[in-house]
Structure 1
């Protein structure tokens, strides 16, 4: 087996492996469109900051916590969407705080099979699509490399 063939196979394997990792949350985010909706309440909204020593920069993420009731039972969650951004920028984090201010009422979409699993952002998110498509670039590269043999 020559190096070109090995490289092509590695690109394809890498792309297919990561496409599964990223595609599953993307596909799951479509299911949230069918989840029932209840009214919930934001009980905490703040920006969490952390410092990445390696990158020498500060990362920010929204910490939005909400509670809701399903069939008389109260649940609490902090998940914005299926493919929630972590380590996002300050603008994204503060925008989320403005969109979901403490004490406000919100639509909460919950999984009927597991009401503890809930989101505020229903449906697929842009970054989920990007995450699901990027691995296919590696598959394409692998196929291209193999076709050049």
Structure 2
């Protein structure tokens, strides 16, 4: 098998995966606009950081909340659809401060599956990165196939 195919196809497949994830997150965010809401309370809110030798530190707000639907208690961890990570510690810390422990929040939940909940009916900021990376990987893969 030619080397350009061996290299190009994985790039294209990875690009398709990124685009699939971005599309799924956007679709879930759109669907959540029809979800019901209830009051909840933040039970945990902290900033996590992930270090890697070959990339900058990533900061991710980790938030947990409790809410009740039809006298059933639930715990949620999703802020928005997708990964809520950032290379900016200040941006991630701002989210953590927005969801301080003990604060009341509006929780949006799927009426068909109340355990499926979110605090923000939108795709996470990482979703933009998924769209961009998907396009970049597909273009890189196609260029590799043409060489």
TM category (shorter chain) comes to 0.7 to 0.9
SS in 1 for 2:114: strand
Q: Tell me by how many angstroms 1:47 deviates.
A: 2.9
Alignment partner of 1:91 is 2:62: no
TM-score between both structures, scaled by the size of structure 1: 0.75
Q: Are residues 55 and 111 of structure 1, via their aligned partners in 2, closer, same or farther at CA, if it must alter by over 3 Å?
A: same
Residue equivalent to 1:63: 62
Q: Which runs of 5+ in 2 are unaligned?
A: none
Q: Which runs of 5+ in 1 are unaligned?
A: none
Q: What count of residue pairs does the alignment treat as equivalent?
A: 147
SS in 2 for 1:110: strand
SS in 2 for 1:85: coil
Residue equivalent to 2:110: 111
Q: Tell me by how many angstroms 1:108 deviates.
A: 0.5
Q: Are residues 143 and 124 of structure 1, via their aligned partners in 2, closer, same or farther at CA, if it must alter by over 3 Å?
A: same
SS in 1 for 2:121: coil
Q: 2: CA distance between counterparts of 1:58 and 1:144?
A: 31
Q: Is the 8 A contact 1:108 1:120 kept in 2?
A: yes
Q: Are residues 132 and 27 of structure 1, via their aligned partners in 2, closer, same or farther at CA, if it must alter by over 3 Å?
A: farther
TM-score between both structures, scaled by the size of structure 2: 0.75
Which one has a bigger Cα radius of gyration?
A: 1
Q: 2: CA distance between counterparts of 1:57 and 1:17?
A: 23
